[in-house]
Structure 1
């Protein structure tokens, strides 16, 4: 059965900036309590982590960018031997509960942050995938807060435990004993949810590079430097060479095939070539934002996908392609992610 995906790049809001925990912990309230969180709101584009920004003016900053597995505790006990199996945190003993555990994490600038696991929901169709409810300690407000940013479509977002760590350029790396709590409204979690699970394999190959390419594509990060070039409610149709997702060929209420056109091809480092931008800016303007990366040239990828701008320095492996509406059609068609 073919899998199709139409997705929406959504605008998100920010949670309050988080500071390092204070030295004294005796007077702290317990984590994982229901509470109303005050949020500062500003346009952010499509988020990578799905978390609030650490610095309001910096698109690629996060209040929670990485989590350590080696320094977890549950009450007054240390949880040694915690590991990640697929998208699931596994305790050293099957009898040990992870809900209520507190882990050590870090913001995107390395500032220490404590992370509490408040709930775990195993995906019914795939036990390797668990949605977590998390909170982080905010030393400024002296309270536990949800770092995940809510949107109108997902007002109470959860988080996935994803192997690897992303930096502020959007690049992924494997760092021993660390992982990412990727919130539901961010590109990292979205790409997992769409089928690009970095721990999985298809056709004998790992999906890790496909997942990374997807995070670039979801945010329209053409230059591969972390900057997004998308707008709220921009529909995209995603397809890849392994047929994890295939191109949509029939129109529906949510997607008009005739109005859609090829946008770009993607590698783990950003766009390998493109025909136009998703946010409607001229390709020459984009090229000026990452000088020396692209050049004007024709490239035919087949199936009607033709590029007018290509990556310099030799061909990069095309892992994903996408189609989207042009500037005028985006206004006419609004859809829902599925």
Structure 2
């Protein structure tokens, strides 16, 4: 997450700005998933900022990040994928900030907003953070659950975005523990038409769980029994007692549903 100090250099122009990046003559902010730099003479967006470097804290350490390229995503064309690289403080060399996602992309983007200490997303236009397409925060936006947008019928997508975080990580009880593995195939779908099931006729897949903003509302199986068995999950809360199917999850207020491979 961006901290209070940000130094941005672009084409020989040095700007010292404070979070979310203010100075007497310039303002750097994020609109949706796009950087916006406003100066007295211009309004620059992410595409204009290719080559820019800025200082921010990553995992509690001061880091220098550079924007190497900006391209629209295939999933959501209005989401711009930024190729970020991070500077090695000892060698001065740059390497990709983000790990490769399932499509081999080493990319990410800024997101307007913040996460509070309870793990809830806050629509704060004065704050922003970086996320990668390989992580849950980026994946969920690419899947269409942008917390700043509305669903097909005007639904607030913020709770869907929060539910999606637990979905991706298989964080069943919302304690922040992930019980999944990289590269796991999951069929994600909902009742509002953003994502539709693709495995309904595939006997290799079965219903896993229904998900809400605080985790799974019920579960019929676990994604990886060797990481967390269904028996052990049932010990983690009364909501996991008994079985779970689409109708039961729907009655309990699930926003997102998953089917996974049988194991």
On whether the aligned pair clears a TM of 0.5, the verdict is yes
Equivalent of residue 104 in structure 1, options 55, 60, 78: 55
The answer for the alignment partner of 1:47 in structure 2 is: none
Mapping for residues 214-225 of structure 1, pairs under 5 Å: 214-225=164-175
1:82 equivalenced with 2:28 (yes/no):
yes
Look up the SS of the partner of 2:49 in the other structure.
coil
Residue 265 (str. 1) matches residue 210 (str. 2):
yes
CA distance, structure 1, for counterparts of residue 192 and residue 166 of structure 2: 18
1:322 aligns with 2:245: no
Which consecutive unaligned segments of at least 5 residues does structure 1 have? 1-65, 308-314, 328-338
1:276 and 2:212 correspond: no
Aligned to 2:20: none
Shift in CA distance, 201/295, structure 1 to aligned 2, threshold 3 Å: closer
Q: Secondary structure at the match of 1:317?
A: coil
Q: Do the aligned partners of 1:168 and 1:226 also contact (CA within 8 Å) in 2?
A: no
- Cα deviation for residue 82 of structure 1 reads 1.7
The answer for the alignment partner of 1:117 in structure 2 is 67
Deviation string for 1:136-157 (max 9, x for gaps)? 2332444332221136x44441
For 2:141, the equivalent position in structure 1 comes to 192
Where does structure 2 lack aligned partners over 5 or more consecutive residues?
A: 18-25
Using a 3 Å threshold, how does the CA distance of structure 1 residues 295 and 197 change in structure 2: closer, same or farther?
closer
Cα deviation code 1:44-79 (max 9, x no counterpart): xxxxxxxxxxxxxxxxxxxxxx12597342244217
Choose between structure 1 and 2 for higher RCO, CA contacts under 8 A separated by at least 6 residues.
1
Following TM superposition, the consecutive aligned residue runs of length 4 or more in structure 1 with deviations greater than 6 angstroms are none
After TM superposition, list the pairs within 5 Å mapping 1:233-312 onto structure 2: 233-248=183-198, 251=201, 256=202, 258-280=203-225, 281-288=228-235, 291-292=236-237, 294-298=239-243, 301-302=246-247
**How far has the Cα of 1:170 moved from its partner?**
5.5
- Partner of residue 33, structure 1: none
- Structure with the bigger percentage of helix: 2
- Once residues 102 and 316 of structure 1 are traced to their aligned partners in structure 2, the CA distance between those partners, rounded to angstroms, is 47
Decide whether the 8 Å contact of 2:65 with 2:86 is kept in 1.
yes
Whole-Å separation in 2 of the counterparts to 1:173 and 1:120: 26
Larger strand fraction of residues: 2
- Compared CA separation, residues 149 and 300, structure 1 to 2 (3 A): closer
CA separation in 2, counterparts of 1:240 and 1:267? 11
Per the normalisation by structure 1, the TM-score is 0.62
Q: Does the Cα contact within 8 Å between 1:262 and 1:306 map onto a contact in 2?
A: no
